[in-house]
Amino acid sequence: MELRALPSQFSFSTPPPTASTATATMASLTGAATSRLLPSASRARLSLSSSSSPASLSSLRCLRGSSPLVSRLFLNQRRPSMHLSAALYSGVASPKCAASDPEQLKGAREEIKELLKTKFCHPILVRLGWHDAGTYNKNIEEWPKRGGANGSLRFEIELKHAANAGLVNALKLLEPIKEKYPSVTYADLFQLASATAIEEGGGPKIPMKYGRVDVSKPEECPEEGRLPDAGPPSPADHLREVFYRMGLNDKEIVALSGAHTLGRSRPERSGWGKPETKYTKDGPGAPGGQSWTVQWLKFDNSYFKDIKEQRDENLLVLPTDGVLFEDPSFKVYAEKYAEDQEAFFKDYAEAHAKLSNLGAKFDPPEGIVIDGKAAPEKFVAATYSSGKD
């Protein structure tokens, strides 16, 4: 997994969609969403009367805030005069507007689990969520100019950023789920997929919340250049420059780097890594690329152990990986995680959740929690290449 202009860690045999196909898909989704809203709006307008209940008025406000088209339906509506007592108003539970529907979020999560079992796409889904959130700039207050987890990565202009090479494949994998669960925002879907991939790969449970609002047009995408590079002249300084801008610290930088235990780098996309190794030549999934770890679909602390030892030429070590054991501050955490997987899991789960919320605008403001108490299924390693040359 990677949050930078480096390795796109997963590829698929199916060619990526053309720009026109992607545009058509987005247009059809937008049109479908609008058409679903109109009947509800019409019903709300017809039922509006002097006897309207506070609950119906709250629903109406939800409709007005949900779509510019819906809002225009009510701009010239004459508001009836009503006299509601405080007791009556407080006695009615007002429905909440929400960016995503909790039940659809749960359904989408189950679909993602099935997708992971058949496509082995854990790394690219983690990367998708990271790259949508990782554009956040803590120095910009205004949403969506501040970047962050807002679903902007679905637009072609941002998908074409060099750091996002190959992520169109992740979007293509998730589009059928988005179509099946239209009341889940793209921003939530990307972060849901990322967290689920970590958990289903054997990693820790991520304390996620949902309800992220989507940006609505490509003009709201962040400018290119906010994501990290793989081989900067001064790796430690570069990592701090990028992650400090997001409001993250050294511990979180090192913990998040540990997600490289998943995935591979493909030189045809990033210029880094080998075309294939003894660990990747036969898959699982599309063969090829160079991985950071031997079992590159299993989430554990192998990344830190392998980076520290650097004994296997088949495993990838980027400048921004090696510096974790060279920089004095980074090294404290890297050494700790190499020895203590439980400590790594704890710090990683907290850092991942924090990253997934960066820059997001939540509706409702407190977010939506869908996690029950059930733990993810016990991890079973995929069938890897034999490791024999």
Helix (H) or strand (E) holding 362: none
Sequence-distant (≥ 6) Cβ neighbours of residue 108 within 8 angstroms: 177, 180, 181, 184, 189, 192
The candidate with the shortest Cα–Cα distance to 384, out of 286, 302, 283, is 283
Alpha helices (runs of H) in the chain, residue ranges in sequence order: 19-47, 54-66, 68-74, 86-90, 102-119, 122-133, 156-159, 167-180, 186-200, 235-245, 250-257, 267-270, 302-309, 319-322, 328-339, 341-357
Q: 199 vs 204, 226, 385, CA distance in Å?
A: 6, 27, 23
Partnered with residue 212 across adjacent β-strands are 362
One-letter amino acid for residue 191 of the chain: Q
DSSP string, 153-206: GGSHHHHTSGGGTTHHHHHHHHHHHHHH-TTS-HHHHHHHHHHHHHHHTT-PPP
Is 131 a residue of the active site? yes
The candidate with the shortest Cα–Cα distance to 265, out of 255, 277, 257, is 277
* Of 122, 131, 260, 352, catalytic: 131
The candidate with the shortest Cα–Cα distance to 22, out of 178, 227, 135, 212, is 178
b/e per residue 81-103 (b: at least 16 CB within 10 A): eeeeeeeeeeeeeeeebbbbbee
Structure tokens at 387: 């490791």
Distance CA 39, CA 45 (A): 10
Distance from chain centroid for Cα 270: 21
Active site residues: 131
